[in-house]
Amino acid sequence: MRKSMAILFMILSTFVFSSFTGVKPDNLFLNTCFTVSSIVFSVGLSLIVTFNLTGIKNRYYIEKIRDVIHNMRNKFISYFFMVVIIYLFGNYMNINNIKIISISGFDIMFDLSTFFCMMIILSVAYFIVNFLEMQKLNEDIFDRVNRELSENENKNIFKGNHLST
């Protein structure tokens, strides 16, 4: 639902920018957006690939965490695939400004280059959100493992299984 709302917002924003401003992104801006998106994708995917489950003993937790990691990996790849398709369309389509309707001499326009750039920027936002989710997951795992280790150490101390100084 959030994705469809974001895409709808990008479409409406494109109508506003195309109809009420003279701002039209050129190929240099599209290339810059694509480059930024590629860098964020690369960093995020490298974090996913190098995610470490060391210290987790519970098999159920390992499987749940792996599912979350695989889901994030698939999101990253699908968003980047979308970015590549949008980038290719943006670079090779010759149709930019599309007049949708004219009301009392005012044209409602839809500029494809504006839409493509906005969609790539949206994908960067999604990459960042997923990156933050991955960081939170990593911190949660660290906290949980740390807490369990502390609890085990405390149990051993109370059982008298500690070294005396």
pTM higher than 0.85? no
> Do 144 and 86 contact (CB within 8 A), yes or no?
no
Q: What is the spatial distance between Cα 92 and Cα 83, in angstroms, rounded to a whole number?
A: 14
Higher pLDDT, 88 or 162: 88
| Rounded distance between C-alpha atoms, residue 53 and residue 79, angstroms | 25
SS3 98: strand
Q: DSSP states of 16-62 as a string?
A: HHHHH------HHHHHHHHHHHHHHHHHHHHHHHT---TT---HHHH
Q: What average pLDDT is seen over the chain?
A: 83
pLDDT band at 165 (very low <50, low <70, confident <90, very high): very low
pLDDT per residue as tens digits for the range 57-115: 788 888 988 898 898 899 889 989 999 999 998 888 766 777 777 777 777 888 888 88
Q: What are phi and psi of 119, to 5 degrees?
A: -70, -40
d(CA 141, CA 147): 10
